[in-house]
Amino acid sequence: MDASCLSGLKATLAGGDRRQDYLGQALADLGAEVWLLRRRPPASPTLNHTRSLAKAFDGTSILVCPLTPFGPRGRVWSEDPEDAVYISGEDFSRLARPSLAFAGSFPEEWAPKMERAGCQAVALGEMDDIAILNSIPTAEGAVLLALERTTVTIHGSVAVVLGYGRTGQTMAAALRGLGARVRVVARRPESRARAVASGCEPWTFEDLSGALEGARFIFNTVEAPVLDAATLSRVDPRAVLIDLASRQGGTDFEAARVLGLKAVLAPALPGRVAPETAASYLADVIVRTACEGLRTGGGGVT
């Protein structure tokens, strides 16, 4: 792959977390003109900075937004609560033609406007390679958060992982590597079979209360309300619960608070615990996609 295809292209990184700094530097090192659209200026003098959407978008060939979904009125997620960047479908007409836009997902109503603007939408949240790679710092960060809130080792303890998708599999493997007795709660029989093959105990959600019995560590990856008040009342009060599901997680946190449980909602962990590594994953995808699409005149929504 000839990364020089980025040379001279304008790239705008909107909102986000510390990953954007490392990603911006990686793209700048490959010859791109990089702009960060946010309130906080970058530490590196090689990166440009603005709070003006028009200035950032005009002539941009590569737009990168966070993996976290857009908020109401197209608000771009940012770890800085004072950031107020809003994008609408009409704003894509400011971009160069052709252009690429990367984000976890895009509002459906933007699709025709992006297509008319010659902008190709790349939904990073649908890419297995990104999700699997991001599960590595997610699992490491979850272990760190858990150990900061307990008085026991993971080794020898019962640890429960809810969900056995891309993040759940990596989480369970990390816990197994640390010597935990891992229980995997999964809906699909094939997922439970894979858990058995990996040395974990398989449990169904119908038996969730039994799976949680005696657990000192609980890690949820399911984006559904699976840990309700009744279920949480069965949890060991000494347990640590780390919810890794995006958006609002799958835990009734108010019930957890009333019960005195140590429960933490921990989305976007890759950007918090390993922003440099997580940015390198994104850089690989962006460079590959740009080299395959922009220089050949690609366009349109995928």
pLDDT score recorded for residue 3: 62
Q: What are the boundaries of each domain within the chain?
A: 3-126+275-296, 130-267
pLDDT in tens, the chain (302 residues): 456 789 999 999 999 999 999 999 999 999 999 999 999 999 899 999 999 999 999 999 999 999 999 999 999 999 999 999 999 999 999 999 999 999 999 999 999 999 999 999 999 999 999 999 999 999 999 999 999 999 999 999 999 999 999 999 999 999 999 999 999 999 999 999 999 999 999 999 999 999 999 999 999 999 999 999 999 999 999 999 999 998 788 999 999 999 999 999 998 899 999 999 999 999 999 999 999 877 554 443 33
Q: Which option is the CATH number for 3-126+275-296: 3.30.470.20, 3.60.70.12, 3.40.50.300, 3.40.50.720? A: 3.40.50.720
- What pTM value is reported for the model? 0.90
What pLDDT is stored for residue 103 in this prediction?
98
Peptide bond between residue 189 and the one before it cis (omega within 30 degrees of 0): no
- At the topology level of CATH, where does 130-267 sit? Rossmann fold (3.40.50)
What's the confidence (pLDDT) of residue 102? 98
pLDDT at 1: 44
Q: What pLDDT does residue 274 have? A: 97
Which pLDDT score, from 0 to 100, does residue 216 have?
98
Same fold, 3-126+275-296 and 130-267: yes
Report pLDDT for 63. 98
**Cα–Cα distance for residue pair 48/38, rounded to 1 Å:** 11
